């Protein structure tokens, strides 16, 4: 039997950019040029700089940055805020920066030209530090300096061939063109790997996206992925879930509310489940989520809250009104708030930030309050929430989502994701008798039995309590109506008890009267018995006396004879 020979794998140079190496299954092709293209301001230079810096720091691969636009000092200053010390790397002999100035006004054509001088400069820089990585940024600047682009294209092909011969892993940046990836069609001959960066604005909200257009000789993610540029550098988040192969836990966690736990068969929610808490404004959604966070931190678990309407400090203050001290959990490092306005980022950018923060903080409970604050087309919103739920489920994180329900509306309060939730708790405002009260009921709880009854939802300085609502012929009564009904029922019960006691006392009196009568009759009977005995005794005495007289008389008669 012939042995199977495994196909050789394409060698790849990892970029060290979070998420990008996962999308490309290892990084950029080793020893080949890769094109990073996009419009101005999309992050091409930062991507290339991060590729070099991470190559030096993480993989001990020196690099050369050849710039055709920015001076070395400008580039160093621009990336210093990200923690990139380019001067230090240059001093350590790990990085070389060469600025090639191209000014059309200063160029005088005297005959045929080539890029031999560029080869010499680049080769000297590579040899001086033993570079393994090269960046050419932005090489299309060369096209603006020379009118004969056919010769320049031929020279660029020779340059890229020279890069491959030297075994250098190169990143070439290019400007986005109309109807094509670059203005000059660089992708035609720099086509081993093409990465497209995009910085789009929709509804006045900016979202950065990345897509690997092609990757010769390697499989790769083909979707658009949001990426971040902030004070921590650039990071790409592959947030699209590919399957549903995540584990589940049979553990149960408390909600921090005894009454709510009692409504659930196991005494709480399944660990790692997704919980939706929906309701109108003022029904207590945030306070229920605060109770869940407090209970999690009390168990020593990390908890993270992404809030879009209030600051973390405000939530901590408000939670104090129901006896919860969330501030101590924040100080201990178990609780972390990430607050941002929904309009600060696009949907995918919010998701990307959550992805990164969750990976770094590693919480066991995550609260998103509220998801209804996120803005965007319904289809995109549902897709984002789906990714968010899959992200948390894949990590075994217990997720709590709150959602605002529009008052008087029966539709749209679950944002179309209720079917993805493992448990759904719904809060309602009930107006009756001139007051508004809160009610709670569990719509569903997968994998467990649960109460189907409505509970009145009370909040006070002593915490959150659930009490049974009155359900009768008049419907569900809550608040003072329930109290009045309960008082009326107590009064009716008292009257019934008093009437029953009165009847018992009357029966007792009748019993006593009858017993007295029986006693009197018994006494009369005993007196009659005594009188009868006396009469019998008297009769016996008389009969005895008469008998004695007759004997005496008989005796005297015998003597006379």
pLDDT, tens digit (0-9, with 9 covering 90-100), for 1-22: 344 444 457 899 999 988 898 8
DSSP per-residue string spanning 299-333: TT--EEEEESSS-HHHHHHHHHTTT--HHHHHHHT
Is it the case that residue 106 has pLDDT exceeding 80? Answer: no
Share of the chain above pLDDT 90, in %: 26
Is it the case that residue 472 has pLDDT exceeding 70? Answer: no
- The pLDDT, as a whole number, for residue 111 is 47
**Residues 73, 79, 85, 91, Cα dihedral to 10°:** -30
Is it the case that residue 123 has pLDDT exceeding 50? Answer: yes
- The pLDDT, as a whole number, for residue 315 is 93
- The pLDDT, as a whole number, for residue 175 is 80
- Asked if residues 181 and 194 have their Cβ atoms less than 8 Å apart, the reply is yes
The 3-state DSSP class for residue 83 equals coil
Q: Is the pTM of this model over 0.85?
A: no
pLDDT, tens digit (0-9, with 9 covering 90-100), for 356-367: 888 889 999 999
Is it the case that residue 536 has pLDDT exceeding 80? Answer: yes
Q: Quick one: which of 236, 273, 238, 226 has its CA closest to 253?
A: 273
13, two tokens: 């140079």
Across the range 392-408, mean pLDDT stands at: 83
Say how far apart CA 512 and CA 561 lie, in whole Å.
Answer: 74
Q: Which of 214-228, 514-528, 541-555 has the highest mean pLDDT?
A: 514-528
Is it the case that residue 179 has pLDDT exceeding 80? Answer: no
Lowest mean pLDDT among 219-228, 431-440, 477-486, 533-542: 477-486
Say how far apart CA 84 and CA 97 lie, in whole Å.
Answer: 14
The 8 Å CB, 24+ separation contacts for 18-23 are 18/235, 18/236, 18/237, 18/356, 19/225, 19/227, 19/235, 19/236, 19/237, 19/238, 20/210, 20/227, 20/236, 22/221, 22/238, 23/210, 23/212, 23/220, 23/221, 23/225, 23/236, 23/238
Where are the extended beta strands (E) located within 117-192?
133-137, 169-175
Across the range 376-396, mean pLDDT stands at: 80
Q: Quick one: which of 306, 301, 241, 304 has its CA closest to 271?
A: 301
Identify the band that residue 296 occupies on the pLDDT scale cut at 50, 70 and 90: very high
CB atoms within 10 A of CB 50: 24
CB atoms within 10 A of CB 7: 6
Identify the band that residue 479 occupies on the pLDDT scale cut at 50, 70 and 90: low
391 vs 307, more confident: 307
Ordered alpha helix ranges (H), 321-403: 326-332, 347-361, 378-394
Go through the chain and tell me how many residues it has. 561
Across the range 335-363, mean pLDDT stands at: 84
Across the range 182-195, mean pLDDT stands at: 68
Q: Say which residue the tokens 């040029």 belong to.
A: 33
Identify the band that residue 340 occupies on the pLDDT scale cut at 50, 70 and 90: confident
Say how far apart CA 61 and CA 460 lie, in whole Å.
Answer: 62
Residue-averaged pLDDT of the chain: 82
Say how far apart CA 78 and CA 70 lie, in whole Å.
Answer: 10
Is it the case that residue 107 has pLDDT exceeding 50? Answer: no
- Asked if residues 227 and 210 have their Cβ atoms less than 8 Å apart, the reply is yes
Q: Which of 140-149, 264-273, 345-354 has the highest mean pLDDT?
A: 264-273
- The pLDDT, as a whole number, for residue 291 is 93
415, two tokens: 């944002």
- Asked if residues 469 and 482 have their Cβ atoms less than 8 Å apart, the reply is yes
- Asked if residues 319 and 287 have their Cβ atoms less than 8 Å apart, the reply is yes
Q: Which fold has domain 10-236?
A: Rossmann fold (3.40.50)
Say how far apart CA 381 and CA 347 lie, in whole Å.
Answer: 7
pLDDT, tens digit (0-9, with 9 covering 90-100), for 75-95: 888 888 888 899 999 999 999
- Asked if residues 433 and 439 have their Cβ atoms less than 8 Å apart, the reply is no
Lowest mean pLDDT among 110-114, 435-439, 454-458, 557-561: 110-114
- The pLDDT, as a whole number, for residue 414 is 56
Domain 252-468 superfamily per CATH: P-loop containing nucleotide triphosphate hydrolases (3.40.50.300)
| Beta-strand relationship, 435-445 and 423-432 | antiparallel
- Asked if residues 367 and 400 have their Cβ atoms less than 8 Å apart, the reply is yes
215 vs 557, more confident: 215
N- to C-terminal Cα separation, the chain: 168
Identify the band that residue 533 occupies on the pLDDT scale cut at 50, 70 and 90: confident
Say how far apart CA 376 and CA 343 lie, in whole Å.
Answer: 10
């Amino acid at each position: 039997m012939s042995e199977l020979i495994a196909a050789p794998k394409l060698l790849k140079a990892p970029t060290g950019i979070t998420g990008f190496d996962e999308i490309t299954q290892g990084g950029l092709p080793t020893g080949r040029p890769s094109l990073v293209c996009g419009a101005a301001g999309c992050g091409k230079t930062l991507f290339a700089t991060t590729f070099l810096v991470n190559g030096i720091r993480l993989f001990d691969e020196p690099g050369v940055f050849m710039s055709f636009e920015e001076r070395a000092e400008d580039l160093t200053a621009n990336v210093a805020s990200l923690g990139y010390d380019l001067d230090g790397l240059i001093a350590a002999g790990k990085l070389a920066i060469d600025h090639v100035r191209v000014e059309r006004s200063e160029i005088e054509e005297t005959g045929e030209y080539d890029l031999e001088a560029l080869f010499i400069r680049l080769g000297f820089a590579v040899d001086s530090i033993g570079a393994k990585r090269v960046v050419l940024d932005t090489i299309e600047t060369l096209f603006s300096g020379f009118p004969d682009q056919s010769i320049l294209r031929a020279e660029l092909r020779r340059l890229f061939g020279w890069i491959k011969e030297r075994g250098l892993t190169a990143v070439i940046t290019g400007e986005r063109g109309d109807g094509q990836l670059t203005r000059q069609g660089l992708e035609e001959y720099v086509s081993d790997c093409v990465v497209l960066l995009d910085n789009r604005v929709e509804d006045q909200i900016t979202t950065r996206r990345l897509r690997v257009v092609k990757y010769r000789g390697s499989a790769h993610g083909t979707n658009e992925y949001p990426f971040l540029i902030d004070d921590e550098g650039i990071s790409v988040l592959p947030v699209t879930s590919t399957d549903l192969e995540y584990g589940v836990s049979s553990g149960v966690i408390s909600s921090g509310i005894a009454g709510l736990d009692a409504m659930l068969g196991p005494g709480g929610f399944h660990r790692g489940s997704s919980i939706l808490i929906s309701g109108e404004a003022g029904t207590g959604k945030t306070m229920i989520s605060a109770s869940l966070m407090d209970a999690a931190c009390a168990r020593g678990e990390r908890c993270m809250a992404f809030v879009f309407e209030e600051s973390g400090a405000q939530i901590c203050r408000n939670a104090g009104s129901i006896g919860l001290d969330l501030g101590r959990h924040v100080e201990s490092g178990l609780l972390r708030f990430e607050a941002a306005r929904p309009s600060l980022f696009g949907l995918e950018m919010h998701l990307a930030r959550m992805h990164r923060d969750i990976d770094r903080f590693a919480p066991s409970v995550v609260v998103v309050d509220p998801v209804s604050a996120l803005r965007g087309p319904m289809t995109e919103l549902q897709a984002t929430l789906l990714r968010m739920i899959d992200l948390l489920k894949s990590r075994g994180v217990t997720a709590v989502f709150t959602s605002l329900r529009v008052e008087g509306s029966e539709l749209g309060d679950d944002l179309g994701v209720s079917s993805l939730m493992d448990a759904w708790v719904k809060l309602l405002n009930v107006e009756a008798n001139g007051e508004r009260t809160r009610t709670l009921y569990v719509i569903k709880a997968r994998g467990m039995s649960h109460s189907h009854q409505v509970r009145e939802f009370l909040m006070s300085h002593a915490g959150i309590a659930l009490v049974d609502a009155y359900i009768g012929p008049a419907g569900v009564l809550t608040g003072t109506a329930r109290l009045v009904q309960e008082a009326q029922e107590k009064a009716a019960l008292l009257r019934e008890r008093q009437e029953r006691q009165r009847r018992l006392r009357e029966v007792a009196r009748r019993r006593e009267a009858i017993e007295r009568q029986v006693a009197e009759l018994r006494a009369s009977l005993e007196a009659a018995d005594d009188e009868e005995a006396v009469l019998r005794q008297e009769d016996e005495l008389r009969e005895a006396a008469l008998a004695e007289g007759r004997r005496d008389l008989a005796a005297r008669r015998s003597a006379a004879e």
